[in-house]
Amino acid sequence: MTTVIRESKETQIRLTLTAGTGIATVSTSEPFLDHMLVALARYSGIDITLTASGDLPHHLIEDVAIALGQGMATFAPATCARYGDRTVPMDDALVHVSIDLGGRPYYKGPLPSNLYDHFLRSFADNAKATLHVRVLRGHDRHHVIEAAFKALGLALREALVESGAVFSTKGSVRLEISE
């Protein structure tokens, strides 16, 4: 279980990630964001409990993504499979997502929504994940974004599988920072 509490003048967030069955209890005051996080939980198999409030939708969506990314960075075990790749069709939309939880932040999109493209970039940066999202088809923004969140969830499910080994030619990386 990983818990992230993020508070600023703009937002207040409490997030818990638990290995489970994909149950989500989400309350952000942004119905579409809630819907996407419920889909992410369901398809990833990660139980997500989130309460979040904020002054503006942009701040709220960005800070939830930051908290989710920070939580994922500590939630993923060092011996997870690390890589996940999925393509999801949803009505007119077809979206492909590939992720590497190997500690190197990078994001390449875009999604047809500045807010949700920024969400995925903020998530990847803070999860220290490489995340590629390709919109192969789709006209309905809702369908494209939802297919992206579902594909991300399935890719995370695949990447988080406990492998019993560190998937890196470097082996395990030890980092110590002191002041």
Q: Which domain CATH number covers 45?
A: 3.30.230.40
What is the percent of the chain where pLDDT is above 90? Answer: 89
**Does residue 140 belong to any structural domain of this protein?**
yes
- State how many domains the chain has: 1
Tell me the pLDDT tens digit for each residue of 22-37: 999 999 999 999 999 9
Cβ(162)–Cβ(77) under 8 Å? yes
Domain-located, residue 77: yes
pLDDT tens digits, the chain, 179 residues: what are they? 999 999 999 999 999 999 999 999 999 999 999 999 999 999 999 999 999 999 999 999 999 999 999 999 999 998 899 999 999 999 999 999 999 999 999 999 999 999 999 999 999 999 999 999 999 999 999 999 999 999 999 999 999 998 776 655 555 545 566 67
Residue 14 lies in a domain: yes
Identify whether 94 is part of a domain: yes
Query: Structure pTM?
Result: 0.92
Helices and strands in the chain: count of H runs, count of E runs: 4, 8
- Residue 168 within a domain: no
Q: Which structure tokens are listed for 94? A: 């077809």
Give domain status of residue 111, yes or no: yes
Q: 108 in helix, strand or coil? A: strand
The answer to whether 99 touches 152, Cβ cutoff 8 Å, is yes
Give the pLDDT of residue 79: 87
DSSP lists the bridge partners of residue 134 as: 96
3-state secondary structure of 115: helix
* Cβ-contact 69, 141 below 8 angstroms: no
Q: Among all chains, which residue has been given the structure tokens 């920070």?
A: 70
> Is 173 part of any domain?
no
- Residue 45 region, left (φ>0) first, then alpha (ψ -120 to 50), else beta? left
- Spatial strand order of the sheet with 11-19 comes to 2-7, 11-19, 46-54, 24-27
Structural domain includes residue 110:
yes
Taken as a whole, the chain contains a residue count of: 179
Query: What is the domain range of residue 27?
Result: 2-159
- The sign of the torsion formed by the CA atoms of 124, 36, 162, 84 equals negative
